[in-house]
């Protein structure tokens, strides 16, 4: 600061005063500061960068942290109280920022004597040792991301909501847990086949396996009307099962029964339990549902026992667990060659093993076992699901939809099938309007049966759907509620960064937010490439390359099939930095991806490729074809004029005219969609 002129020092002092005047207002950011000091945002950004060598958002953060340091030295307030007073809505985020600036957590301030130093943003270290942990999490994403679509033509009685809590193993032999879990799974599966019920998913209730919470406490969290509790054991050739149905609001037992059956009666036992539960809460079971519920999976008890052992491994959702489960499933079909469910689960396990990898090793196996399952039982949800996964695996996405829709018809409460169907409208067959419509209807089902983490994902995807269709204020509202449910949801954190970027184009703040998110988990490849992307959009190519390099290392080392649309960005960065061979390889990979793209964005992708190649004629030609589309994502409209891949054509009058046409088309589409959703009562 000593090199600044008195006028420059006075300017920064005025900034400091304005920031401190609004220090407790978490919403006070770049736009508000620019307004207070009477400057345009762009002029303020340039001036602060020149004088303070940091972005405006970083400068504001530094002032907040300096005041926090002073307050903490006084030893009168808690860390949480201080974070609130200096404008941090999240205490955990405040602690992370404070540690980044001072090198130790705020709780240790009173033991330190340090000078206040500005925050330096260095590259977040990518822990390659743990990248496979991130990969394992990605494999589980298909089953765990909560994207919802509406139930098919079902008028849901909100009194008919039920959760089947994990059954307790009372056997002296802990290895028998797979049998008890299998009985719980079977009862849950039977209830899920009833359209008259709203059934909590297994993944949601699993968190209560070893809980000490009471039924009313769990009911408050899940917002359901009924609970099923059970405990069982296998002694010799007998199965003993205790089951009770509890009304949640009163904690009153509505029905209970002790069963003692021979092992060969296990299927009838599971059917009887499900029917008794349905009868006691007066759920109508249709003849078709009853037929599916009473379907016995196999006549071979040894095959079923082997299958349950495999299912226990399958649920681990790890690569090793999937591979081991296949061994047991195959043993099961050796014992019973007509075991449809075992065939289906082999196909599904192979699909998960292939997920996210560029090289699809198991497509033929998935198809073989899925066809065997369908041949044996075409009404089994897992058979239909397995065939759908085959089509997804080979990239024939439209072929998968009928199988998933039929599977959902047979299993109307299957979260996994609902999630997979929904994902088509964001990933495989992008349709922003359908995505929003389904997300809205999904949340209208209410958040019954949702823990806070699940609810966070529901709100995240509704936020994303709103943003894709241009409802920016609604998108910000739901992303904030997503983070309120789960402040540690990293997906929501970086989606919020982009929503804010869409509002005011403050790239420096977005960069800071994404970087802070990456620091929380440096194994997250999705966030890693987002940090690279924002640097790319800012044309900080050297900094973008630092992150893209690590991303590419992981992608190539583990042969991942993720984010192919980003190849053109990485190609341009490499080209700008003189890595010609790598740039050529990435651009050709992108061209192959764009040429095979069956979505409405194919011509936009090809236009970007030809612009990158400086083939302006073809770039304009394909942009013109894309300009005929209407139901496109708002993200495209927001950043099309600023996309570096279009730098070779952006100043051409033809390009400007086409972009204006794209913007006009979207605005008309947005207004039509708004009217439609209002008429359906989905938005105000």
Give the per-residue SS3 of 499-529. HHHHHHCCHHHHHHHHHHHHHHCCCCHHHHH
Q: Is 346 exposed, middle or buried (0-12, 13-18, 19+ CB in 10 A)?
A: buried
User: Has residue 496 got a pLDDT over 90?
Assistant: yes
User: Has residue 78 got a pLDDT over 90?
Assistant: no
SS3 state of residue 198: strand
Asked if 575 and 583 touch (Cβ cutoff 8 Å), the reply is yes
pLDDT given at position 111: 60
Strand-pair category, 238-247 with 252-262: antiparallel
pLDDT given at position 174: 62
Most confident of 296-300, 476-480, 570-574: 570-574
User: Has residue 127 got a pLDDT over 50?
Assistant: no
SS3 state of residue 29: coil
User: Has residue 146 got a pLDDT over 70?
Assistant: no
Of 268-272, 531-535, 614-618, the range with the lowest mean pLDDT is 268-272
**Mean of pLDDT over the chain:** 81
Strand-pair category, 226-235 with 238-247: antiparallel
Q: Rounded distance, CA 75 to CA 374, Å?
A: 69
SS3 state of residue 395: coil
For the segment 633-677, what is each residue's pLDDT rounded down to a tens digit? 898 999 999 999 999 999 999 999 999 999 999 999 889 888 887
What lies within 8 Å, CB to CB, of 456 at 6+ separation is 482, 483, 485, 486, 489, 492
Where residue 35 falls (left for φ over 0; alpha for ψ -120 to 50; beta otherwise) is: alpha
Strand-pair category, 198-199 with 226-235: unpaired
User: Has residue 422 got a pLDDT over 70?
Assistant: no
| Helix axes of 340-354 and 381-393: crossing angle, nearest 10 degrees | 30
- 3-state helix, strand, coil split of the chain in percent (to 5) is 65, 5, 30
Tell me which residue of 80, 131, 74, 79 sits closest to 106, measured CA to CA. Answer: 79
pLDDT given at position 448: 44
Asked if 196 and 283 touch (Cβ cutoff 8 Å), the reply is yes
For the segment 531-579, what is each residue's pLDDT rounded down to a tens digit? 999 999 999 999 999 999 999 998 888 778 788 999 999 999 999 999 9
Sign of CA dihedral 42, 48, 50, 55: negative
Angle made by CA atoms 431, 389, 136, in degrees to the nearest 5 = 95
Across the strands, what pairs with 120? none
Q: Rounded distance, CA 569 to CA 575, Å?
A: 10
Q: Rounded distance, CA 414 to CA 441, Å?
A: 16
Band of residue 614 on the pLDDT scale cut at 50, 70, 90: very high
Give me the torsion for CA of 468, 471, 476, 479, rounded to 10°: -50
> Residue 375 CA to chain centroid, in angstroms?
34
Tell me which residue of 389, 638, 615 sits closest to 507, measured CA to CA. Answer: 638
Tell me which residue of 490, 506, 489 sits closest to 498, measured CA to CA. Answer: 506
> Residue 244 CA to chain centroid, in angstroms?
35
CA of 546: how far to CAs of 122, 532, 538, 558, in Å?
11, 8, 14, 19
SS3 state of residue 41: helix
Asked if 202 and 426 touch (Cβ cutoff 8 Å), the reply is no
- Name the more confident of 151 and 205: 205
Structure-block tokens of residue 61: 């953060």
Q: Rounded distance, CA 440 to CA 468, Å?
A: 13
For the segment 333-392, what is each residue's pLDDT rounded down to a tens digit? 999 999 999 999 999 999 998 886 778 899 999 999 999 999 999 988 899 999 999 999
User: Has residue 450 got a pLDDT over 80?
Assistant: no
Q: Rounded distance, CA 192 to CA 198, Å?
A: 8
Band of residue 157 on the pLDDT scale cut at 50, 70, 90: very low
What percentage of the chain exceeds 90 in pLDDT?
A: 30
Strand residue runs (E) in 12-123: none
Termini Cα distance of the chain: 52
SS3 state of residue 371: helix
Of 10-14, 120-124, 186-190, 267-271, the range with the lowest mean pLDDT is 120-124
Structure-block tokens of residue 455: 């609810």
Q: Rounded distance, CA 322 to CA 311, Å?
A: 9
Q: Rounded distance, CA 301 to CA 265, Å?
A: 10
User: Has residue 513 got a pLDDT over 90?
Assistant: yes
Sign of CA dihedral 89, 91, 92, 95: positive
Q: Rounded distance, CA 598 to CA 428, Å?
A: 9
Q: Rounded distance, CA 483 to CA 475, Å?
A: 12
Average pLDDT over residues 245-272: 82
User: Has residue 77 got a pLDDT over 80?
Assistant: no
User: Has residue 120 got a pLDDT over 60?
Assistant: no
Q: Rounded distance, CA 449 to CA 162, Å?
A: 8
How many other C-beta atoms lie within 10 A of the C-beta of residue 201? Answer: 22
pLDDT given at position 453: 62
Sign of CA dihedral 641, 646, 647, 648: negative
What lies within 8 Å, CB to CB, of 49 at 6+ separation is 55, 56
- Give me the DSSP letters along 539-555: T-HHHHHHHHHHHHHHH
pLDDT given at position 509: 92
Q: Rounded distance, CA 647 to CA 374, Å?
A: 51
Question: Backbone phi, then psi, for 208, in 5-degree steps?
Answer: -100, 15
Of 4-18, 133-147, 560-574, 612-626, the range with the lowest mean pLDDT is 133-147
pLDDT given at position 75: 62
| Helix axes of 177-192 and 301-314: crossing angle, nearest 10 degrees | 90
pLDDT given at position 530: 93
User: Has residue 445 got a pLDDT over 50?
Assistant: no
Of 402-406, 632-636, 679-683, the range with the lowest mean pLDDT is 679-683
For the segment 405-418, what is each residue's pLDDT rounded down to a tens digit? 888 788 776 666 76
pLDDT given at position 112: 55
**Residue recorded with tokens 């029917």:** 275
- Give me the DSSP letters along 475-493: HHHHHHHHHHH-TT-HHHH
User: Has residue 529 got a pLDDT over 90?
Assistant: yes
H helix intervals, 86-176: 91-102, 131-139, 141-144
* Domains contained in the chain, CATH given: 6-111 (1.10.10.60), 153-295 (3.40.50.10610), 298-431 (1.25.40.10), 563-684 (no CATH)
């Amino acid at each position: 600061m000593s090199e600044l002129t008195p006028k420059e020092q006075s300017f920064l002092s005025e900034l400091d005063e304005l920031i401190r005047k609004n220090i407790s207002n978490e919403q006070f950011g770049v736009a508000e500061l620019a307004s207070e000091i009477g400057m345009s945002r762009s002029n303020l950004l340039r001036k602060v960068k020149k004088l303070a060598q940091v972005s405006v958002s970083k400068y504001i953060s530094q002032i907040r942290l300096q005041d926090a340091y002073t307050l903490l030295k006084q030893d009168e307030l808690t860390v949480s109280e201080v974070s609130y007073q200096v404008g941090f809505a999240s205490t955990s985020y405040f602690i992370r920022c404070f540690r980044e600036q001072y090198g130790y957590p705020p709780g240790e301030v009173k033991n330190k004597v340090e000078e206040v130093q500005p925050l330096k943003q260095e590259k977040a270290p990518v822990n390659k040792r743990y990248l496979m942990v991130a990969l394992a999490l990605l494999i589980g994403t298909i089953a765990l991301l909560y994207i919802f679509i509406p139930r098919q033509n079902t008028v849901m009685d909100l009194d008919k909501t039920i959760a089947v809590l994990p059954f307790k193993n009372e056997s002296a032999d802990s290895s028998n847990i797979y049998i008890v879990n299998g009985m719980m799974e079977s009862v849950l599966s039977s209830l899920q086949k009833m359209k008259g019920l709203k059934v909590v998913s297994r993944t949601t209730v699993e968190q209560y396996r070893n809980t000490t919470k009471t039924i009313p406490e769990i009911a408050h969290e899940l917002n359901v009307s009924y609970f099923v509790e059970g405990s069982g054991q296998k002694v010799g050739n007998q199965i003993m099962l205790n089951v009770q149905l509890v009304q949640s609001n009163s904690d009153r037992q509505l029905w209970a029964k002790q069963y003692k059956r021979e092992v060969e009666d296990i299927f009838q036992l599971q059917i009887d339990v499900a029917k008794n539960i349905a009868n006691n809460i007066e759920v109508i079971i249709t003849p078709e549902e009853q037929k599916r519920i009473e379907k016995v999976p196999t006549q071979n008890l040894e095959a079923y026992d082997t299958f349950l052992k495999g299912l226990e491994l399958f649920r681990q959702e790890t690569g090793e667990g999937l591979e081991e489960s296949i061994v047991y499933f195959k043993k099961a079909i050796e014992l019973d060659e007509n075991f449809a469910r075992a065939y289906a689960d082999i196909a599904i396990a192979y699909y998960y093993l292939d997920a996210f990898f560029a090289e699809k090793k198991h497509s033929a196996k998935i198809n073989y076992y899925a066809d065997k399952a369908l041949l044996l039982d075409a009404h089994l949800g897992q058979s239909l699901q397995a065939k759908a996964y085959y089509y997804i695996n080979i990239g024939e996405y439209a072929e998968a939809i009928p199988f998933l829709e039929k599977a959902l018809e047979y299993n109307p409460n299957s979260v996994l099938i609902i999630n997979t169907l929904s994902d088509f409208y964001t990933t495989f067959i992008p349709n922003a309007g359908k995505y929003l419509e389904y997300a809205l209807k999904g949340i209208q089902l209410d958040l019954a049966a949702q823990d806070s983490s699940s609810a966070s994902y529901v709100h995240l995807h509704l936020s994303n759907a709103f943003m894709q269709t241009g409802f920016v204020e609604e998108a910000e509202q739901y992303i904030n509620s997503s983070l309120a449910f789960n402040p540690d949801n990293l997906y929501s954190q970086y989606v919020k960064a982009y929503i804010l970027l869409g509002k005011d184009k403050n790239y420096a703040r977005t960069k800071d937010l994404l970087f802070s998110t990456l620091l929380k988990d440096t194994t997250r490849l999705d966030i890693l490439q987002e940090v690279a992307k924002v640097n790319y959009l800012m044309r900080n190519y050297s900094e973008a390359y630092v992150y893209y390099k690590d991303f590419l290392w992981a992608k190539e080392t583990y042969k991942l099939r993720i984010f192919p649309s980003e190849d053109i960005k990485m190609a341009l960065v490499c080209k700008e930095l003189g890595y010609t061979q790598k740039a050529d390889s990435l651009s050709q990979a992108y061209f192959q991806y764009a040429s095979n793209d069956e979505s409405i964005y194919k011509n936009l992708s090809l236009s970007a490729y030809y612009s990158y190649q400086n083939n302006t004629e073809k770039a304009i030609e394909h942009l013109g074809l894309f300009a005929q589309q209407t139901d496109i994502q708002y993200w495209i409209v927001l950043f099309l004029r600023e996309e570096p891949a279009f730098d070779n054509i952006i100043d051409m009058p033809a390009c400007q005219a086409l972009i204006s046409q794209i913007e006009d088309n979207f605005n008309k589409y947005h207004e039509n969609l708004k009217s439609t959703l209002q008429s359906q009562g989905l938005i105000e």
